[in-house]
């Protein structure tokens, strides 16, 4: 009877790392796209006014509630420095104050159109009994620089009302702790 030779075991086996690299890139892409991008809506050079009282807010997002952040900030369109703002003064040049949603600037005319689009994205299921029409369930947060003209904030609130957005908040900075 002939003896069978045991199979030869190959000792130089090396793992193929290319599929693992592909998986790592897919995971990286998944986590980047799934990350909370709400901080992208915030303007970089914005100093909020300080509030005298701040209600407690747990900052929990409620599922189904959509929000839009409108930033009112000082920016000269041609890129030249504003002498009033550069010297610490309060600039009242109307063209120096920009209104932005998600980093895109709007003027008074185009902001109303964009707010109408934002409002239509999330409508209430039932008509409001007082307004006798269906309003938007979208939340709007207005973040204005502390030197921004209050008339701009009023105009944004008015535009929100004209397109049916009634959930409007104005952001303010938490006051500094006393005694420090």
Between 94 and 124, residue with greater pLDDT: 124
Between 109 and 71, residue with greater pLDDT: 71
* C-alpha span between 120 and 73 (Å, rounded): 26
Cα three-residue angle 59-64-67, rounded to 5 degrees: 60
pLDDT surpassing 60 at residue 117 = yes
What is the set of domains in the chain, with CATH numbers? 66-77+92-173 (3.30.420)
pLDDT surpassing 70 at residue 157 = yes
Burial of 68 (0-12, 13-18, 19+ CB in 10 A): buried
The tokens describing 87, both together, are 């010297």
pLDDT, residue 25, reads 92
Which of 26-35, 89-98, 158-167 has the largest mean confidence?
A: 158-167
The tokens describing 34, both together, are 């799934």
The beta strands (E) that lie in the chain are given as 67-74, 97-101, 104-106, 136-144, 165-170
Cα-only R_g, the chain? 27
For residue 167, the cross-strand partners are: 139
Between 178 and 117, residue with greater pLDDT: 117
How sure is the predictor about 144, in pLDDT bands with cuts at 50, 70 and 90?
confident
The tokens describing 173, both together, are 């900075």
Share of the chain above pLDDT 70, in %: 82
Summarize pLDDT for 65-82 with one digit per residue, the tens: 778 888 888 887 777 778
Summarize pLDDT for 53-62 with one digit per residue, the tens: 555 554 455 5
Cα three-residue angle 71-172-150, rounded to 5 degrees: 60
Which of 32-46, 49-63, 126-140 has the largest mean confidence?
A: 126-140
Share of the chain above pLDDT 90, in %: 12
How sure is the predictor about 23, in pLDDT bands with cuts at 50, 70 and 90?
very high
Between 46 and 56, residue with greater pLDDT: 46
For residue 79, the cross-strand partners are: none
């Amino acid at each position: 009877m002939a003896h069978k030779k045991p199979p030869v075991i190959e000792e130089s086996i090396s793992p193929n790392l290319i599929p693992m690299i592909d998986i790592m890139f897919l995971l990286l892409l998944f986590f980047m796209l799934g990350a909370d991008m709400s901080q992208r809506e915030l303007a970089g050079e914005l100093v909020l006014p300080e509030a005298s009282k701040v209600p407690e807010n747990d900052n929990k997002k409620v599922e189904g509630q959509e929000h839009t952040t409108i930033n009112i900030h000082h920016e000269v369109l041609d890129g030249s420095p504003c002498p009033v703002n550069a010297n610490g003064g309060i600039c009242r040049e109307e063209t120096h104050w920009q209104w932005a949603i998600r980093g895109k600037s709007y003027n008074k005319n185009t902001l109303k159109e964009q707010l109408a689009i934002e409002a239509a994205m999330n409508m209430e299921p039932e008509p409001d009994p007082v307004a006798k029409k269906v309003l938007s369930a979208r939340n709007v947060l207005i973040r204005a620089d502390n030197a921004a003209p209050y008339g701009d904030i009023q105009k944004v609130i008015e535009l929100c009302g004209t397109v049916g957005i009634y959930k409007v908040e104005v952001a303010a900075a938490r006051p500094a702790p006393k005694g420090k």
